[in-house]
A and B are shown apart, each in its own frame.
Chain A
Amino acid sequence: MPASLDLSKVATEIRKEVIKMITAAGSGHTAGSLGSAEIFAAFYFSILNQDPKNPDWVERDRFILSCGHYCPAQYAALAHAGYFPISELKTLRKLGSKLQGHPVRGTVPGVETTSGPLGEGLAQAAGIALGARIDGKHFRVYCLTSDGEHDSGNHWEAVMFAAKYKLANLTQIVDRNSIQIDGGTEEVMPLNSLTDKYKAFNWNVIEIDGNDITQILEAVKEAKTYYQGPTVIIAKTIPGKGVDFMENDYRWHGKAPTKEESETALNELK
Protein backbone atom coordinates (compact mmCIF):
# COMPACT_ATOMS: atom_id res chain seq x y z
CA MET A 1 0.00 0.00 0.00
CA PRO A 2 1.78 3.16 -1.23
CA ALA A 3 0.34 5.41 1.50
CA SER A 4 1.86 3.32 4.24
CA LEU A 5 5.20 3.25 2.44
CA ASP A 6 5.24 7.06 2.49
CA LEU A 7 4.23 7.07 6.14
CA SER A 8 7.13 4.78 6.95
CA LYS A 9 9.42 7.41 5.53
CA VAL A 10 7.70 10.03 7.66
CA ALA A 11 8.25 7.83 10.71
CA THR A 12 11.95 7.62 9.91
CA GLU A 13 12.11 11.41 9.55
CA ILE A 14 10.43 11.75 12.95
CA ARG A 15 13.00 9.38 14.47
CA LYS A 16 15.89 11.37 13.03
CA GLU A 17 14.45 14.61 14.39
CA VAL A 18 13.91 12.99 17.79
CA ILE A 19 17.56 11.94 17.98
CA LYS A 20 18.78 15.38 16.87
CA MET A 21 16.44 17.28 19.21
CA ILE A 22 17.16 15.23 22.32
CA THR A 23 20.90 15.26 21.64
CA ALA A 24 20.87 19.04 21.23
CA ALA A 25 18.80 19.47 24.38
CA GLY A 26 21.02 17.12 26.36
CA SER A 27 17.98 15.53 27.96
CA GLY A 28 14.63 14.05 27.01
CA HIS A 29 12.80 10.77 26.59
CA THR A 30 14.27 8.82 23.74
CA ALA A 31 12.77 5.32 23.86
CA GLY A 32 9.06 6.18 23.75
CA SER A 33 9.58 8.95 21.21
CA LEU A 34 11.33 6.53 18.84
CA GLY A 35 8.94 3.67 19.50
CA SER A 36 5.84 5.72 18.74
CA ALA A 37 7.07 7.30 15.49
CA GLU A 38 4.68 5.24 13.32
CA ILE A 39 1.76 6.30 15.51
CA PHE A 40 2.58 10.00 15.11
CA ALA A 41 3.20 9.56 11.37
CA ALA A 42 -0.13 7.77 10.93
CA PHE A 43 -2.11 10.35 12.87
CA TYR A 44 -0.62 13.63 11.68
CA PHE A 45 -0.14 12.52 8.05
CA SER A 46 -3.21 10.39 7.45
CA ILE A 47 -5.84 9.97 10.16
CA LEU A 48 -6.48 13.36 11.72
CA ASN A 49 -8.92 15.75 10.11
CA GLN A 50 -6.98 18.89 10.97
CA ASP A 51 -5.67 21.97 9.20
CA PRO A 52 -2.12 22.99 10.19
CA LYS A 53 -2.83 26.51 8.98
CA ASN A 54 -5.89 26.75 11.22
CA PRO A 55 -4.96 24.75 14.33
CA ASP A 56 -7.90 26.07 16.37
CA TRP A 57 -10.55 25.02 13.84
CA VAL A 58 -13.50 23.99 16.00
CA GLU A 59 -14.40 20.92 13.95
CA ARG A 60 -10.90 19.42 13.98
CA ASP A 61 -10.21 15.96 15.30
CA ARG A 62 -8.42 16.21 18.62
CA PHE A 63 -5.20 14.35 19.34
CA ILE A 64 -4.48 14.36 23.06
CA LEU A 65 -0.99 13.35 24.07
CA SER A 66 -1.36 12.01 27.60
CA CYS A 67 2.23 10.76 27.94
CA GLY A 68 3.75 14.21 27.55
CA HIS A 69 7.29 12.89 27.66
CA TYR A 70 6.74 11.65 24.08
CA CYS A 71 6.58 15.26 22.92
CA PRO A 72 9.80 15.23 20.87
CA ALA A 73 8.03 12.87 18.45
CA GLN A 74 4.88 14.99 18.51
CA TYR A 75 6.80 18.23 17.94
CA ALA A 76 8.67 16.63 15.03
CA ALA A 77 5.41 15.39 13.49
CA LEU A 78 3.72 18.77 13.95
CA ALA A 79 6.62 20.67 12.40
CA HIS A 80 6.83 18.33 9.43
CA ALA A 81 3.06 18.52 8.98
CA GLY A 82 3.32 22.31 8.75
CA TYR A 83 2.16 23.55 12.16
CA PHE A 84 5.36 25.49 12.77
CA PRO A 85 8.81 25.81 11.15
CA ILE A 86 11.03 22.73 11.27
CA SER A 87 13.92 25.01 12.20
CA GLU A 88 12.34 25.53 15.63
CA LEU A 89 12.77 21.88 16.57
CA LYS A 90 16.34 22.49 17.69
CA THR A 91 15.07 24.80 20.46
CA LEU A 92 13.58 21.89 22.42
CA ARG A 93 13.99 22.38 26.19
CA LYS A 94 15.82 25.69 25.76
CA LEU A 95 14.96 28.85 27.70
CA GLY A 96 12.26 30.85 25.94
CA SER A 97 11.37 28.04 23.52
CA LYS A 98 7.78 27.13 22.78
CA LEU A 99 8.96 23.51 22.77
CA GLN A 100 8.88 22.88 26.50
CA GLY A 101 10.31 19.68 27.98
CA HIS A 102 6.72 18.58 28.41
CA PRO A 103 3.95 20.14 26.29
CA VAL A 104 2.12 23.23 27.50
CA ARG A 105 -1.20 24.18 25.92
CA GLY A 106 -1.19 27.51 24.15
CA THR A 107 2.50 27.52 23.31
CA VAL A 108 2.66 25.14 20.34
CA PRO A 109 0.11 25.10 17.51
CA GLY A 110 -1.43 21.62 17.43
CA VAL A 111 -0.73 20.81 21.07
CA GLU A 112 -4.18 20.43 22.63
CA THR A 113 -3.38 19.98 26.33
CA THR A 114 -0.71 20.47 28.94
CA SER A 115 0.67 17.07 29.84
CA GLY A 116 3.52 15.32 31.53
CA PRO A 117 2.18 14.37 34.96
CA LEU A 118 0.85 10.97 33.93
CA GLY A 119 -2.63 9.55 34.13
CA GLU A 120 -4.46 12.78 33.34
CA GLY A 121 -4.76 12.76 29.56
CA LEU A 122 -7.47 10.18 28.98
CA ALA A 123 -9.86 12.04 31.28
CA GLN A 124 -9.24 15.27 29.42
CA ALA A 125 -9.85 13.50 26.13
CA ALA A 126 -13.08 12.10 27.61
CA GLY A 127 -14.12 15.61 28.64
CA ILE A 128 -13.57 16.91 25.13
CA ALA A 129 -15.43 13.92 23.65
CA LEU A 130 -18.34 14.45 26.03
CA GLY A 131 -18.51 18.19 25.32
CA ALA A 132 -18.50 17.46 21.59
CA ARG A 133 -21.26 14.89 21.94
CA ILE A 134 -23.48 17.29 23.88
CA ASP A 135 -23.17 19.73 20.98
CA GLY A 136 -23.68 17.06 18.31
CA LYS A 137 -20.22 17.60 16.85
CA HIS A 138 -18.85 14.86 14.63
CA PHE A 139 -15.12 15.19 15.14
CA ARG A 140 -13.24 12.37 16.82
CA VAL A 141 -11.01 12.46 19.88
CA TYR A 142 -7.84 10.36 20.00
CA CYS A 143 -5.67 9.95 23.05
CA LEU A 144 -2.20 8.44 23.13
CA THR A 145 -1.26 6.97 26.50
CA SER A 146 1.76 5.06 27.70
CA ASP A 147 1.53 1.69 29.38
CA GLY A 148 3.48 3.00 32.38
CA GLU A 149 0.79 5.56 33.14
CA HIS A 150 -1.65 2.71 33.60
CA ASP A 151 -0.22 2.48 37.13
CA SER A 152 -2.14 5.67 37.92
CA GLY A 153 -5.54 5.75 39.59
CA ASN A 154 -6.61 8.84 37.68
CA HIS A 155 -6.21 6.86 34.43
CA TRP A 156 -8.46 4.01 35.53
CA GLU A 157 -11.02 6.48 36.81
CA ALA A 158 -11.08 7.84 33.27
CA VAL A 159 -11.41 4.34 31.84
CA MET A 160 -14.54 3.86 33.96
CA PHE A 161 -15.88 7.31 33.15
CA ALA A 162 -15.52 6.88 29.37
CA ALA A 163 -17.26 3.51 29.57
CA LYS A 164 -20.08 4.85 31.75
CA TYR A 165 -20.84 7.60 29.22
CA LYS A 166 -20.27 5.27 26.25
CA LEU A 167 -17.93 7.70 24.52
CA ALA A 168 -17.84 6.10 21.08
CA ASN A 169 -16.19 9.23 19.65
CA LEU A 170 -13.14 8.54 21.83
CA THR A 171 -10.32 6.23 20.79
CA GLN A 172 -7.36 5.55 23.03
CA ILE A 173 -4.08 4.25 21.69
CA VAL A 174 -1.92 2.62 24.35
CA ASP A 175 1.76 2.51 23.49
CA ARG A 176 2.42 -0.93 24.94
CA ASN A 177 6.21 -0.85 24.90
CA SER A 178 6.50 -2.67 28.25
CA ILE A 179 9.06 -0.31 29.79
CA GLN A 180 8.95 2.57 32.24
CA ILE A 181 11.63 4.58 34.03
CA ASP A 182 12.46 2.05 36.71
CA GLY A 183 12.38 -1.06 34.53
CA GLY A 184 10.00 -3.36 32.72
CA THR A 185 6.31 -2.66 33.31
CA GLU A 186 5.69 -6.19 34.54
CA GLU A 187 8.39 -5.80 37.18
CA VAL A 188 7.56 -2.27 38.35
CA MET A 189 3.79 -2.80 38.51
CA PRO A 190 2.32 -5.67 36.53
CA LEU A 191 -0.32 -4.65 33.98
CA ASN A 192 -1.06 -7.92 32.22
CA SER A 193 -3.46 -8.58 30.84
CA LEU A 194 -4.33 -5.07 29.64
CA THR A 195 -6.66 -6.57 27.07
CA ASP A 196 -8.64 -8.46 29.68
CA LYS A 197 -8.73 -5.43 31.94
CA TYR A 198 -10.15 -3.17 29.22
CA LYS A 199 -12.70 -5.80 28.21
CA ALA A 200 -13.78 -6.07 31.82
CA PHE A 201 -14.17 -2.28 31.88
CA ASN A 202 -16.48 -2.47 28.82
CA TRP A 203 -14.14 -1.03 26.24
CA ASN A 204 -13.85 -2.26 22.66
CA VAL A 205 -10.32 -3.65 22.42
CA ILE A 206 -8.13 -3.94 19.32
CA GLU A 207 -4.60 -5.31 19.56
CA ILE A 208 -2.01 -4.40 16.96
CA ASP A 209 1.67 -4.12 16.19
CA GLY A 210 2.12 -0.40 16.81
CA ASN A 211 5.18 -0.19 14.59
CA ASP A 212 3.11 -1.37 11.60
CA ILE A 213 1.46 1.60 9.94
CA THR A 214 -1.08 -0.46 8.01
CA GLN A 215 -2.27 -2.03 11.25
CA ILE A 216 -2.60 1.40 12.89
CA LEU A 217 -4.70 2.74 10.01
CA GLU A 218 -6.90 -0.36 9.94
CA ALA A 219 -7.45 -0.30 13.70
CA VAL A 220 -8.52 3.35 13.68
CA LYS A 221 -10.89 2.61 10.80
CA GLU A 222 -12.38 -0.24 12.81
CA ALA A 223 -12.70 1.95 15.93
CA LYS A 224 -14.79 4.42 13.94
CA THR A 225 -17.34 1.74 13.21
CA TYR A 226 -17.87 0.82 16.87
CA TYR A 227 -20.78 2.80 18.28
CA GLN A 228 -21.41 1.22 21.66
CA GLY A 229 -18.59 2.85 23.59
CA PRO A 230 -14.94 3.82 23.58
CA THR A 231 -12.28 1.82 21.79
CA VAL A 232 -8.74 1.14 22.94
CA ILE A 233 -6.06 0.18 20.48
CA ILE A 234 -3.33 -1.64 22.36
CA ALA A 235 -0.34 -0.96 20.18
CA LYS A 236 2.61 -3.18 20.95
CA THR A 237 5.77 -1.26 20.07
CA ILE A 238 9.50 -1.62 20.44
CA PRO A 239 10.90 1.13 22.66
CA GLY A 240 13.88 2.78 21.00
CA LYS A 241 12.75 1.31 17.65
CA GLY A 242 15.10 1.94 14.74
CA VAL A 243 18.26 2.31 16.77
CA ASP A 244 19.75 -1.08 17.50
CA PHE A 245 21.53 -0.27 20.78
CA MET A 246 18.44 1.46 22.19
CA GLU A 247 15.77 -1.09 21.31
CA ASN A 248 14.00 -2.79 24.23
CA ASP A 249 16.32 -1.28 26.82
CA TYR A 250 14.43 0.54 29.57
CA ARG A 251 17.51 2.62 30.39
CA TRP A 252 16.77 4.70 27.29
CA HIS A 253 13.37 5.69 28.67
CA GLY A 254 14.53 9.09 29.86
CA LYS A 255 18.11 9.36 28.64
CA ALA A 256 19.66 11.51 25.92
CA PRO A 257 22.31 10.07 23.59
CA THR A 258 25.83 11.46 23.59
CA LYS A 259 27.09 13.07 20.37
CA GLU A 260 28.81 9.84 19.36
CA GLU A 261 25.75 7.75 20.13
CA SER A 262 23.65 10.24 18.22
CA GLU A 263 25.85 9.90 15.12
CA THR A 264 25.65 6.13 15.29
CA ALA A 265 21.89 6.34 15.64
CA LEU A 266 21.47 8.77 12.73
CA ASN A 267 23.64 6.59 10.50
CA GLU A 268 21.42 3.65 11.28
CA LEU A 269 18.28 5.64 10.50
CA LYS A 270 19.47 6.76 7.04
Chain B
Amino acid sequence: MINYKATRDAVGEALFEKGLTNDRIVVLTADLKESTRVNSFAEKFPERFFDCGVAEQVMVTVASGMANYGKIPFVTSFAVFVPGRTWEQIRTAVCLNNVPVKIIGSHAGLSAVLDGGNHQCLEDIALMRSLPNMVVVAPADYLETKKAVIEAVGNRRPTYIRVEREPTAVFSIAKSPFKIGRAETLWKTRNPKVAIIACGTLVYEALTAAKELEKSGIDTLVINNHTIKPIDERAVIHAAKITGAVVTVEEHQVMGGMGSAVAEVLAKNFPVPMEFVGVQNSFGESGKYEELLKKYGLTAKNIIEAVKKVLVRCG
Protein backbone atom coordinates (compact mmCIF):
# COMPACT_ATOMS: atom_id res chain seq x y z
CA MET B 1 0.00 0.00 0.00
CA ILE B 2 1.47 3.29 -1.08
CA ASN B 3 1.48 6.28 1.25
CA TYR B 4 0.28 9.72 0.26
CA LYS B 5 1.99 12.78 1.66
CA ALA B 6 2.35 16.37 0.44
CA THR B 7 5.75 17.47 -0.76
CA ARG B 8 5.31 20.74 1.18
CA ASP B 9 5.34 18.70 4.41
CA ALA B 10 8.86 17.54 3.57
CA VAL B 11 10.13 21.13 3.46
CA GLY B 12 9.21 21.84 7.06
CA GLU B 13 10.56 18.51 8.28
CA ALA B 14 13.86 18.82 6.40
CA LEU B 15 14.41 22.38 7.63
CA PHE B 16 13.62 21.37 11.20
CA GLU B 17 16.10 18.48 11.03
CA LYS B 18 18.87 20.47 9.36
CA GLY B 19 18.17 23.43 11.64
CA LEU B 20 19.22 21.34 14.64
CA THR B 21 22.79 21.00 13.37
CA ASN B 22 23.25 23.97 11.06
CA ASP B 23 22.67 27.32 12.71
CA ARG B 24 23.34 29.22 9.48
CA ILE B 25 19.90 28.20 8.26
CA VAL B 26 17.32 30.96 8.61
CA VAL B 27 13.73 30.76 7.41
CA LEU B 28 11.51 33.56 6.19
CA THR B 29 7.88 33.49 5.23
CA ALA B 30 5.27 35.99 4.05
CA ASP B 31 2.33 35.35 6.36
CA LEU B 32 2.15 31.71 5.27
CA LYS B 33 3.95 29.96 8.11
CA GLU B 34 1.58 27.07 8.44
CA SER B 35 0.63 26.69 4.76
CA THR B 36 4.29 26.34 3.84
CA ARG B 37 4.86 24.03 6.82
CA VAL B 38 7.66 26.01 8.41
CA ASN B 39 5.76 26.47 11.67
CA SER B 40 7.75 23.70 13.34
CA PHE B 41 10.99 25.50 12.47
CA ALA B 42 9.48 28.77 13.70
CA GLU B 43 8.59 27.25 17.07
CA LYS B 44 11.92 25.50 17.56
CA PHE B 45 14.16 28.31 16.31
CA PRO B 46 12.29 31.61 16.85
CA GLU B 47 15.57 33.56 16.67
CA ARG B 48 16.13 32.27 13.14
CA PHE B 49 12.62 32.67 11.82
CA PHE B 50 11.26 35.88 10.30
CA ASP B 51 7.71 36.59 9.24
CA CYS B 52 7.68 39.39 6.69
CA GLY B 53 3.93 39.85 6.54
CA VAL B 54 2.17 39.89 3.20
CA ALA B 55 5.30 41.32 1.56
CA GLU B 56 7.12 38.84 -0.63
CA GLN B 57 9.41 41.42 -2.22
CA VAL B 58 10.99 42.37 1.09
CA MET B 59 11.25 38.71 2.03
CA VAL B 60 13.36 37.94 -1.04
CA THR B 61 15.50 41.06 -0.74
CA VAL B 62 16.09 40.64 3.01
CA ALA B 63 17.06 37.02 2.31
CA SER B 64 19.49 38.30 -0.30
CA GLY B 65 21.17 40.42 2.37
CA MET B 66 21.26 37.53 4.83
CA ALA B 67 22.83 35.22 2.24
CA ASN B 68 25.27 37.96 1.30
CA TYR B 69 26.31 38.13 4.96
CA GLY B 70 26.73 34.36 5.29
CA LYS B 71 23.41 32.87 6.33
CA ILE B 72 21.54 30.19 4.39
CA PRO B 73 18.09 31.71 4.02
CA PHE B 74 15.05 29.75 2.89
CA VAL B 75 12.13 31.87 1.74
CA THR B 76 8.75 30.20 1.63
CA SER B 77 5.48 31.24 0.07
CA PHE B 78 3.06 30.16 -2.62
CA ALA B 79 4.82 29.78 -5.96
CA VAL B 80 2.44 32.30 -7.49
CA PHE B 81 3.99 34.94 -5.19
CA VAL B 82 7.55 33.62 -4.91
CA PRO B 83 8.79 33.45 -7.61
CA GLY B 84 5.63 34.85 -9.26
CA ARG B 85 5.43 38.31 -7.75
CA THR B 86 9.14 38.62 -7.02
CA TRP B 87 10.76 37.63 -10.29
CA GLU B 88 12.77 40.84 -10.65
CA GLN B 89 14.00 40.72 -7.06
CA ILE B 90 15.08 37.12 -7.61
CA ARG B 91 16.75 38.10 -10.87
CA THR B 92 18.70 41.09 -9.54
CA ALA B 93 19.09 40.66 -5.78
CA VAL B 94 19.56 36.89 -5.84
CA CYS B 95 20.86 35.72 -9.23
CA LEU B 96 22.84 38.68 -10.53
CA ASN B 97 23.98 39.29 -6.94
CA ASN B 98 24.81 35.56 -6.94
CA VAL B 99 23.93 34.88 -3.31
CA PRO B 100 22.64 31.48 -2.17
CA VAL B 101 19.02 32.21 -1.34
CA LYS B 102 16.80 29.09 -1.33
CA ILE B 103 13.31 29.62 -2.64
CA ILE B 104 10.48 27.28 -1.79
CA GLY B 105 7.50 27.76 -4.07
CA SER B 106 4.60 25.91 -2.49
CA HIS B 107 1.13 25.17 -3.85
CA ALA B 108 2.74 24.91 -7.29
CA GLY B 109 1.03 23.48 -10.34
CA LEU B 110 -2.70 23.02 -9.82
CA SER B 111 -2.25 22.04 -6.19
CA ALA B 112 -3.74 25.23 -4.76
CA VAL B 113 -6.91 23.38 -5.85
CA LEU B 114 -10.03 25.04 -4.43
CA ASP B 115 -8.36 28.47 -4.22
CA GLY B 116 -8.55 28.54 -8.00
CA GLY B 117 -6.51 29.83 -10.89
CA ASN B 118 -5.54 32.93 -8.92
CA HIS B 119 -3.40 30.87 -6.55
CA GLN B 120 -2.30 28.01 -8.78
CA CYS B 121 1.10 28.49 -10.37
CA LEU B 122 1.81 27.03 -13.78
CA GLU B 123 4.57 29.42 -14.83
CA ASP B 124 7.26 29.17 -12.14
CA ILE B 125 9.59 26.77 -13.95
CA ALA B 126 9.64 29.05 -16.98
CA LEU B 127 10.32 32.08 -14.77
CA MET B 128 13.14 30.44 -12.86
CA ARG B 129 14.92 28.47 -15.53
CA SER B 130 15.55 31.61 -17.59
CA LEU B 131 17.75 33.04 -14.81
CA PRO B 132 21.53 32.56 -14.90
CA ASN B 133 22.99 31.06 -11.67
CA MET B 134 19.62 29.58 -10.63
CA VAL B 135 19.12 25.89 -9.86
CA VAL B 136 15.56 24.65 -10.49
CA VAL B 137 14.23 21.47 -8.89
CA ALA B 138 10.77 19.88 -9.02
CA PRO B 139 10.98 16.85 -6.70
CA ALA B 140 8.81 13.84 -7.43
CA ASP B 141 7.56 12.98 -3.97
CA TYR B 142 7.76 13.68 -0.28
CA LEU B 143 11.00 11.79 0.34
CA GLU B 144 12.71 13.26 -2.68
CA THR B 145 11.70 16.76 -1.56
CA LYS B 146 13.42 16.16 1.76
CA LYS B 147 16.58 15.17 -0.05
CA ALA B 148 16.35 18.20 -2.33
CA VAL B 149 15.98 20.60 0.60
CA ILE B 150 18.87 18.97 2.45
CA GLU B 151 21.10 19.16 -0.61
CA ALA B 152 20.10 22.77 -1.23
CA VAL B 153 21.31 23.71 2.26
CA GLY B 154 24.85 22.97 1.20
CA ASN B 155 24.94 23.68 -2.54
CA ARG B 156 25.99 27.35 -2.21
CA ARG B 157 23.80 28.42 -5.13
CA PRO B 158 20.51 30.22 -5.63
CA THR B 159 18.03 27.36 -5.71
CA TYR B 160 14.34 27.09 -6.47
CA ILE B 161 12.41 24.08 -5.18
CA ARG B 162 8.82 23.66 -6.32
CA VAL B 163 6.48 21.81 -3.97
CA GLU B 164 2.80 21.04 -3.80
CA ARG B 165 -0.03 21.37 -1.38
CA GLU B 166 -1.87 18.15 -2.08
CA PRO B 167 -0.83 14.73 -0.78
CA THR B 168 0.73 12.68 -3.56
CA ALA B 169 2.16 9.15 -3.77
CA VAL B 170 5.39 8.52 -1.86
CA PHE B 171 6.91 5.99 -4.23
CA SER B 172 10.61 6.50 -3.58
CA ILE B 173 12.46 5.08 -0.61
CA ALA B 174 15.17 6.47 1.63
CA LYS B 175 17.83 4.70 -0.41
CA SER B 176 16.59 5.90 -3.82
CA PRO B 177 19.42 7.82 -5.45
CA PHE B 178 18.95 11.57 -5.65
CA LYS B 179 21.36 14.24 -6.68
CA ILE B 180 20.47 17.69 -7.97
CA GLY B 181 21.42 17.80 -11.65
CA ARG B 182 21.25 14.06 -12.24
CA ALA B 183 18.16 12.56 -13.84
CA GLU B 184 17.25 9.03 -12.76
CA THR B 185 15.87 6.22 -14.88
CA LEU B 186 13.00 4.72 -12.91
CA TRP B 187 11.54 2.30 -15.43
CA LYS B 188 12.86 0.54 -18.48
CA THR B 189 11.31 -2.40 -20.27
CA ARG B 190 13.18 -4.52 -22.81
CA ASN B 191 13.13 -2.50 -25.97
CA PRO B 192 11.77 0.97 -25.15
CA LYS B 193 10.42 2.96 -28.10
CA VAL B 194 9.46 6.07 -26.16
CA ALA B 195 11.15 7.90 -23.31
CA ILE B 196 8.74 9.50 -20.86
CA ILE B 197 10.61 12.34 -19.19
CA ALA B 198 8.71 13.71 -16.22
CA CYS B 199 9.24 15.98 -13.24
CA GLY B 200 7.40 16.76 -10.03
CA THR B 201 4.69 14.63 -8.61
CA LEU B 202 3.48 13.62 -12.09
CA VAL B 203 6.46 11.24 -12.26
CA TYR B 204 4.13 8.83 -10.49
CA GLU B 205 1.54 9.24 -13.24
CA ALA B 206 4.32 8.55 -15.76
CA LEU B 207 5.16 5.31 -13.97
CA THR B 208 1.50 4.34 -13.87
CA ALA B 209 1.25 5.00 -17.61
CA ALA B 210 4.40 2.96 -18.31
CA LYS B 211 2.95 -0.01 -16.45
CA GLU B 212 -0.27 0.17 -18.46
CA LEU B 213 1.63 0.58 -21.71
CA GLU B 214 3.68 -2.53 -20.95
CA LYS B 215 0.47 -4.49 -20.63
CA SER B 216 -0.45 -3.48 -24.16
CA GLY B 217 3.01 -4.37 -25.42
CA ILE B 218 4.54 -0.90 -25.59
CA ASP B 219 7.96 -0.69 -24.02
CA THR B 220 8.94 2.65 -22.51
CA LEU B 221 11.62 4.33 -20.49
CA VAL B 222 10.64 6.61 -17.59
CA ILE B 223 13.04 9.29 -16.44
CA ASN B 224 12.64 11.37 -13.32
CA ASN B 225 14.02 14.67 -14.53
CA HIS B 226 13.63 16.45 -11.18
CA THR B 227 16.30 19.04 -11.96
CA ILE B 228 15.16 21.31 -14.74
CA LYS B 229 18.26 23.47 -14.40
CA PRO B 230 21.05 22.53 -14.80
CA ILE B 231 19.39 19.89 -16.95
CA ASP B 232 21.04 16.47 -17.22
CA GLU B 233 21.83 16.75 -20.93
CA ARG B 234 23.58 13.40 -21.12
CA ALA B 235 20.61 11.54 -19.69
CA VAL B 236 18.15 13.34 -21.99
CA ILE B 237 20.22 12.72 -25.14
CA HIS B 238 20.83 9.10 -24.16
CA ALA B 239 17.10 8.54 -23.62
CA ALA B 240 16.31 9.98 -27.05
CA LYS B 241 19.00 7.88 -28.67
CA ILE B 242 17.88 4.56 -27.27
CA THR B 243 14.17 5.18 -27.85
CA GLY B 244 13.79 7.59 -30.77
CA ALA B 245 10.81 9.45 -29.28
CA VAL B 246 10.12 11.54 -26.19
CA VAL B 247 7.06 12.50 -24.18
CA THR B 248 7.56 15.11 -21.48
CA VAL B 249 5.24 15.38 -18.47
CA GLU B 250 4.85 18.29 -16.09
CA GLU B 251 2.25 20.09 -14.01
CA HIS B 252 3.13 23.42 -15.62
CA GLN B 253 2.50 25.37 -18.79
CA VAL B 254 3.98 23.55 -21.77
CA MET B 255 5.42 26.89 -22.86
CA GLY B 256 8.77 27.42 -21.21
CA GLY B 257 8.59 24.47 -18.87
CA MET B 258 10.62 21.32 -18.35
CA GLY B 259 9.50 19.93 -21.72
CA SER B 260 10.84 23.05 -23.42
CA ALA B 261 14.17 22.53 -21.65
CA VAL B 262 14.27 18.94 -22.93
CA ALA B 263 13.35 20.12 -26.44
CA GLU B 264 16.18 22.68 -26.40
CA VAL B 265 18.68 19.92 -25.60
CA LEU B 266 17.31 17.52 -28.20
CA ALA B 267 16.82 20.04 -31.01
CA LYS B 268 20.50 20.83 -30.77
CA ASN B 269 21.90 17.37 -30.18
CA PHE B 270 19.55 14.60 -31.29
CA PRO B 271 16.14 15.68 -32.59
CA VAL B 272 13.37 13.11 -32.19
CA PRO B 273 9.57 13.41 -32.35
CA MET B 274 8.23 14.83 -29.06
CA GLU B 275 4.89 15.25 -27.36
CA PHE B 276 4.31 17.51 -24.38
CA VAL B 277 1.96 16.62 -21.54
CA GLY B 278 1.32 19.79 -19.56
CA VAL B 279 -1.10 22.67 -19.30
CA GLN B 280 -1.89 24.05 -22.74
CA ASN B 281 -1.81 27.82 -22.44
CA SER B 282 -4.63 28.22 -19.93
CA PHE B 283 -5.08 29.12 -16.27
CA GLY B 284 -6.48 26.67 -13.78
CA GLU B 285 -9.70 26.97 -11.78
CA SER B 286 -11.25 25.82 -8.51
CA GLY B 287 -11.69 22.10 -8.16
CA LYS B 288 -10.47 18.96 -6.45
CA TYR B 289 -6.95 17.88 -7.34
CA GLU B 290 -7.98 14.74 -9.24
CA GLU B 291 -10.67 16.67 -11.09
CA LEU B 292 -8.19 19.34 -12.13
CA LEU B 293 -5.51 16.87 -13.26
CA LYS B 294 -8.15 15.17 -15.37
CA LYS B 295 -9.62 18.34 -16.83
CA TYR B 296 -6.22 19.80 -17.72
CA GLY B 297 -4.93 16.58 -19.24
CA LEU B 298 -2.28 15.58 -16.71
CA THR B 299 -3.15 11.98 -15.87
CA ALA B 300 -1.67 8.58 -16.79
CA LYS B 301 -4.37 8.33 -19.45
CA ASN B 302 -3.14 11.50 -21.13
CA ILE B 303 0.44 10.25 -20.98
CA ILE B 304 -0.59 6.98 -22.62
CA GLU B 305 -2.32 8.92 -25.40
CA ALA B 306 0.76 11.07 -25.92
CA VAL B 307 2.98 7.98 -26.13
CA LYS B 308 0.71 6.43 -28.73
CA LYS B 309 0.58 9.68 -30.67
CA VAL B 310 4.34 10.06 -30.76
CA LEU B 311 4.71 6.44 -31.87
CA VAL B 312 2.41 7.12 -34.81
CA ARG B 313 4.62 10.03 -35.76
CA CYS B 314 7.64 7.70 -35.62
CA GLY B 315 5.91 5.49 -38.18
Interface residues of A (CB under 8 A from B): 58, 64, 104-106, 112-117, 119-120, 123-132, 134, 153-154, 157-158, 160-161, 165
Contacts and interface: CB of A to CB of B under 8 A. Distances in A.
Given A132-B69, A161-B55, A161-B58, A120 B92 contact: yes
B97 A123 contact: no
A87 to B, nearest CB: 27
A124 B96 contact: no
A258 to B, nearest CB: 31
Interface stretch (B59-67, B210-218, B294-302): B59-67
B21 to A, nearest CB: 17
Q: Is chain A's binding surface mostly helix, strand, loop or mixed?
A: helix
A106 B58 CA distance: 22
Contacts of B38: none
B96 A134 contact: no
Nearest to A152: B57
**Of B26, B65, B96, which is in contact with the most chain A CB atoms at under 10 Å from its CB?**
B65
B97 A130 contact: no
Interface string B82-124: 0000001100110011110000000000000000000000000
A127 to B, nearest CB: 2
B255 interface: no
Nearest to B28: A127
B307 to A, nearest CB: 45
A123 B26 CA distance: 16
Q: Is chain B's binding surface mostly helix, strand, loop or mixed?
A: helix
B97 A114 contact: yes
Interface in B29-74: 47-48, 50, 52-53, 55, 57-58, 61-71, 73
Contacts of B93: 113-114, 120, 123-124
B68 A134 contact: no
A216 B296 CA distance: 61
Contacts of A115: 92
A105 B98 contact: yes
10 contacts: A106-B98, A114-B96, A119-B57, A120-B61, A124-B64, A124-B65, A126-B65, A130-B65, A130-B66, A154-B61
A161 B47 contact: no
A204 B71 CA distance: 27
Contact of B65 (A119, A131, A134, A165): A131
- Interface size range of chain B in the complex: 20 to 34
B68 A113 contact: yes
B65 A127 contact: yes
Contact of B61 (A104, A112, A116, A124): A124
Contacts of A129: 65
Given A157-B58, A160-B53, A131 B97 contact: no
Contact of A157 (B48, B57, B66): B57
B179 to A, nearest CB: 27
Contacts of B47: 134
B19 to A, nearest CB: 13
Interface of B: 26, 47-48, 50, 52-53, 55, 57-58, 61-71, 73, 88-89, 92-93, 96-99
A128 B63 CA distance: 9
A108 to B, nearest CB: 13
B52 A131 contact: no
A123 B93 CA distance: 10
A95 B47 CA distance: 45
B52 to A, nearest CB: 6
A254 to B, nearest CB: 19
Nearest to A158: B58
Given A120-B92, A160-B53, A126 B97 contact: no
Closest A-B pairs by Cβ, 4 of them: A127-B65, A123-B61, A157-B58, A131-B69
A160 B57 CA distance: 12
Nearest to B55: A157
A128 B26 CA distance: 12
A186 B164 CA distance: 45
Nearest to A122: B61
A165 B50 contact: yes
Contacts of A154: 57-58, 61, 89
Contacts of B67: 127
A129 B50 CA distance: 13
B68 A127 contact: yes
Contact of A123 (B58, B98, B99): B58
**Of A125, A131, A160, which is in contact with the most chain B CB atoms at under 10 Å from its CB?**
A131
A60 to B, nearest CB: 11
A161 B53 CA distance: 9
Given A105-B97, A105-B98, A116-B92, A128 B69 contact: yes
